[in-house]
Amino acid sequence: MSDDSPIPDDEEEVSEVLSGESEGAGVLTGESEGELAVVVEKPRAQQAIDALTDEGVYDADRRVRAYGDGGVSIPVTAVPETVDFHEVVRQVGDPRLRTLADHLRERGWTGAEVDRAPSSWAVVGSVILVDVGDAPRPAEVGEALLDLHGEADTVLQRHGIAGEHREPNVSVLAGEGDTETIHTEHGTRYALDLAKVMFSPGNKEERSYMGDRVGDDETVLDMFAGIGYFTLPMARADADVIAVERNPTAFQYLLENARLNDVTDRVQPYRADCRDVVDGVSVDRVVMGYYDAYKYLDSALDALEPGGVLHLHEATPEDLIFERPIDRLEAAASDRGRSVEVLDTRRVKSYSEGVDHVVVDARVD
């Protein structure tokens, strides 16, 4: 950890070591109850916070703090039973400032300046992604976000996504400047470089949803796999996934993430245009996680078995939700003498003003 880490030094923050367990929970006496925290290595901080949140013991009212050489103490309401840690400690000090506005006011920002600060951002592993807009003193916004999220060490300013491979345009706003990280969602681990490949935090529930939809030993074609956004949850749910990605950087992370999640035996990766892979392929399910996926419907339908399920993503204007993607799917199926039964429709997130990211799930006979 660098000397200029935004997390306060541990000497003033931790008063007492209560137990030292490498796995599971230590047994604490009643007099030890109070401002508890568990110590983990800093690279594991976000993964541990996610797991502690899932267990229901993460204390969001207190700060994540530095601890020792390369560790952090994460506040908890009780000793966790399912999360590995090094030791349990007691934290002292002021409660966490709960909002970005609190941190900016502490830096002397006026009410009018605070009103111009960003209202949303995303923590992806150890990196914070934010669009500061017209906020004054962007670097102070970055430092305040690091104070707010002690598990992070870098803040990136988003400048959009462009190019054939939808590559992100970002710049370092504050912190160490390390853009490579490992992000954990619902037990799935994603290694990625946020300066090189796209990651949409707003798709979190959709990624989890796909892991819940597939059946054991089901064969799935993921036509736009990226770093494994949908491939990994599905493979972890025991589906066999043909994962196609043409961006060479994203493809390398796809391979790494299959190993990281121990699903290499469930993932068949191809660095190619998905239209060049479908010949001779026969699958139970097709995932089309790309805003212009409708352009590839012919290839998707060629690969999909009768009675199989297709998940069509699209960026759709509000006045055409869900009519346009359904019409496109039905037209492509009709050209092949096939019929469509719509199983589900949902909005994933806002794509831009007046346009939403939507998904249509359909069975195609």
Annotated binding site for S-adenosyl-L-methionine: 200, 207, 245
Annotated binding site: 200, 207, 245
Long-range contacts of 131-138 (CB under 8 A, 24+ apart): 131/157, 131/158, 132/157, 132/173, 136/109, 138/173
Question: What are the distances in angstroms from CA 167 to CA 75, 129, 198, 252, 331?
Answer: 36, 15, 6, 15, 31
Q: Please list, in sequence order, all residues whose beta carbon lies within 8 angstroms of the beta carbon of residue 118, skipping any fewer than 6 positions away.
A: 100, 130, 131, 132, 133, 135, 141
HSE-CB for 237 with a 13 A CA cutoff? 20
Spatial contact of 181 and 44, defined as CB atoms under 8 Å apart: no
On the question of a cis peptide bond just before residue 230, with omega within 30 degrees of 0, the verdict is: no
Give me the phi and psi of 187, to 5 degrees please.
90, -10
Secondary structure class of 164 (helix, strand, coil): coil
Question: What is the C-alpha to C-alpha distance for residues 39 and 239, in angstroms, rounded to an integer?
Answer: 35
Spatial contact of 139 and 120, defined as CB atoms under 8 Å apart: no
State the DSSP string of 57-90. -B-TTS--EEETTTEEEEEESS--SSS--SEEEE
Give me the phi and psi of 353, to 5 degrees please.
-60, 120
Question: What is the C-alpha to C-alpha distance for residues 190 and 193, in angstroms, rounded to an integer?
Answer: 10
Question: What is the C-alpha to C-alpha distance for residues 110 and 128, in angstroms, rounded to an integer?
Answer: 24
User: Distance from CA of residue 164 to its chain's centroid?
Assistant: 22
Question: What is the C-alpha to C-alpha distance for residues 266 and 242, in angstroms, rounded to an integer?
Answer: 9
